[in-house]
Amino acid sequence: MNANELKLHLDNKSDDHICSKSDIGYVTLPLIMLSQKLLTKIETLLDKTYKLSSSEIDVLASLYSCKDDKHTLTPTKLYEKLLFSSGGMTKVLKKLETKKFIKRLDNEDDKRSKLVQLTPSGKDILEKSLSDIIELEEDFFAHLNTDHRKRLSDSLFHALGDQNKET
């Protein structure tokens, strides 16, 4: 179902439907569809242009943003930060190492483990891909002026804040 069909369906709902007493479908369903569409476009961009997955970008971004100016973390810190399994992290790290976007270093504090460090080419590919993602998102939301974007953002963060209070 596309957005127009969904809107028409919601507009034509009758009292015998489960959600007849609520118009929340006008909010949640478009948000879900929008999120899925945007994530699909980003994943397609990353795959076609950079041969990267969103998981690989997440790892590169985590290394880039770490407090260590050498952009270095342990694999354990990475998978805890990203909520990956240990095995999932190992798989992503091997792919990134093969592509020369990260390198493994000896850990002077713990000889049993290795550190993961972002390479200059990893930093470069991250910056280029994030720039393209931002451009894609700008195009995606081009129909919203600055004021509308601000109000939408404020509303979404407000809703997130309300949910955080309850959990």
Q: Out of 32-41, 68-77, 100-109, 143-152, pick the least confident.
A: 68-77
Task: Tell me the whole-structure pTM to 2 decimals.
Answer: 0.79
pLDDT in tens, 8-52: 766 666 545 555 566 677 788 888 989 999 999 999 999 999 999
The C-alpha atoms of residue 135 and residue 128 are separated, in whole angstroms, by: 11
Q: Helix-strand-coil percent breakdown of the chain, rounded to 5?
A: 65, 5, 25
- Domains annotated for the chain, with CATH where assigned, are 3-12+22-141 (1.10.10.10)
pLDDT in tens, 119-129: 999 999 999 99
pLDDT of 73 higher than 60: yes
The C-alpha atoms of residue 1 and residue 3 are separated, in whole angstroms, by: 7
